[in-house]
Amino acid sequence: MHKFRLIGRIDINNENVVKGKCLEGLRKIGNPEEFASRYYKSGIDELVLMDAVASLYDRNSLIKILKETCKNVFIPITIGGGIRNLEDIQEALNAGADKVAINSQGLRDINFIKDAVRNYGSQAIIGSVVAREFRYSWEAFIDNAKHRSGVDAIDWAKILEDAGVGEIMVTSIDRDGRMKGFDSKLIKTVTESTKIPIIACGGAGSASDISSMINETNCDAVAISSILHYEHTSIEKLKDSLSKNGVQIRK
């Protein structure tokens, strides 16, 4: 039976875990290897390590952190931010990543996504949709939500699916870091428009937020950060609550 996944998202800038609201106002809150190890020991299903400013400054600084993390963490790890070519993907996989998440470079050149899938398989490539709502639709953003793409976010999700990605991570800029609940309408629209697994990101403030979003959208996983970073709850409590609400989770 399909089991729901809890994914810990760790945004990193200059070797520090950072967090803000709406992907802005990032402030340092800790050491990435320590966060990753703590979440792994507490029972998180997967981790996402995201370079928060890589695409802005034409770099990716996560390889060293990834190598150190993989010494003590033995669950699937996705790396994202600043993935621009096949060499970047190869370097990430060699360093211990199981998957890479691609957003900005894919929007600039969809053939890059297709080449990545062809070379490494759909299971290794996550398409990233970073979206902000404008009235009755959502627009996809690039460069960690700094720049508009002019592309409809739902259309972008469909393009990613057609390009062969194995799953899609949908981040709501409007809900990020606010811990007031997910943009369920956005996630529901994406899940109804595609047939591949969807990871919802942005807005988790409680187990009930996650349960409600699962019931409303039928997504396959959530990527959470603030709720764990600031110790509003624990992974064990989240899983226990979800299980009591009938959600099939990984033990």
Q: What is the 3-state secondary structure (H, E, C) of 129-177?
A: EEEEEECCEEEEEECCCCEEEEEEHHHHHHHHHHHCCCEEEEEECCCCC
In this predicted model, what pLDDT tens digit does every residue of 92-141 receive, in sequence order? 999 999 999 999 999 999 999 999 999 999 999 999 999 999 988 999 99
Alpha carbon distance 222, 183 (integer Å):
12
CATH number of 5-244: 3.20.20.70
Structure tokens at 168: 């899609």
Nearest to 36 by CA among 77, 93, 95, 4: 77
pLDDT of residue 181: 94
> pLDDT, tens digit, for every residue of 184-224?
999 999 999 999 999 999 999 999 999 999 999 989 999 99
pLDDT of residue 164: 98
Q: Which pLDDT tens digit goes with each residue over 143-157?
A: 988 899 999 999 999
Q: Are 209 and 189 in contact (CB under 8 A)?
A: no
> Do 219 and 166 contact (CB within 8 A), yes or no?
no
